[in-house]
Structure 1
């Protein structure tokens, strides 16, 4: 992955049931280059109650030999997590996946985002990206469209 090509605005087209995004719509993320080599992250959405939500953070490559595997850090509320770009062509789509284990409950929590440079993706592209997820063993049953009907 070439980070500079990934920069810019991405719209969330589909996602799984992620607790911090439940019932929100019009999610998008903007990625910018920081002087220190990290990536600025700015996520925004409309909440279920019609309010506006945004959060800022940074992303950094975890291992230079694998630039598609990033760690994202948000400060308010504090949150740190993986951000793995599984597939992208930089100008149309990106498939992002992360998985966290919760050892106390022997539970695996998956985070799946299908992103686009525009507010929609073709059904064939969505199916192609979901097949990639299935082939790697991810659970796509809960992956649902994100409403992008905001102006």
Structure 2
């Protein structure tokens, strides 16, 4: 067990050293009503990454717990089989409500930045402190083309490469 922990810590350190400076504007929303943010979100588009590669019908469901923490359940289909990842989330600093943290493995929290959200909480842009992660999320399985166009324009203005987005089949 000790060797595994040392290996994991070494990988984390190496990953931190190899990171390039952020080249995008990942400014988060100034206000976020966590209660309104809770519930089911459908993944409309995302950047490719190992933990969701090949998945369709992807959703994320957030539940605010009595202790202020957030229960996170990500689900999707891969090769016709339902896959579920249970995690936890938190808001570490109430003065920056758009900067959440999520963890799916032990205490290894990752950034979960709410970059933009519709006034009625019908869609959201989510990223991180790096430019490697990006999601377009919606309360419905599809968004009107006019909304998508506006979201893509917003992302391009921020410096994100929208050609790297994978459009998720719902």
TM-score by length of 1: 0.84
Q: Which runs of 4+ in 1 moved over 3 A?
A: none
Gaps of 5+ in 2: 1-31
**Which structure 2 residues correspond to residues 1-150 of structure 1 after superposition, within 5 A?**
1-47=32-78, 49-75=79-105, 79-89=108-118, 90-100=120-130, 110-148=132-170
**Equivalences, count:** 138
CA RMSD of aligned residues (A): 1.6
- When you count helix as a share of all residues, which structure comes out higher? 2
- When you count strand as a share of all residues, which structure comes out higher? 1
TM-score by length of 2: 0.75
Moved more, 91-100 or 23-32: 91-100
Structure with larger Rg = 2
